[in-house]
């Protein structure tokens, strides 16, 4: 697993069959914001990270690259 957020997010989307639009809709952000994360031009703030963990029931540690398990 790549420890940079963009790699972690890309892997998560692929493994879960999620489109950028579907992921964005679930966490309440615009798809363009997710695209910026995937390009490495930005990283999610606290509120977005919190929304990801709640929407997908995934540990924040996973998205932060501290563990390889959801």
Question: Mind giving me the DSSP string for 20-44?
Answer: HHHHHHHHT--HHHHHHHHHTS---
* Predicted confidence (pLDDT) per residue in 30-70, tens digit: 999 999 999 999 999 999 999 999 999 999 999 999 998 88
Residues 4-24: what's their mean pLDDT?
97
pTM attached to this predicted model: 0.90
Sorted by where each begins, the domain ranges of the chain are 5-63
The answer to whether the CB of 60 falls within 8 A of the CB of 49 is: yes
pLDDT for 26 equals 97
Fold of 5-63: 434 Repressor (Amino-terminal Domain) (1.10.260)
Task: Match 């997010």 to its residue by tokens.
Answer: 9
Q: How far, in Å, CA of 41 to CA of 65, rounded?
A: 17
Q: How far, in Å, CA of 9 to CA of 34, rounded?
A: 9
pLDDT for 2 equals 52
């Amino acid at each position: 697993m790549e420890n940079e957020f963009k790699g972690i997010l890309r892997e998560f989307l692929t493994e879960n069959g999620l489109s950028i639009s579907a992921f964005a809709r679930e966490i309440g952000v615009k798809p363009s914001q997710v695209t910026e994360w995937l390009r490495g031009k930005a990283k999610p703030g606290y509120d977005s990270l919190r929304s990801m963990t709640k929407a997908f029931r995934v540990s924040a540690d996973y998205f932060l690259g501290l563990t390889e398990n959801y």
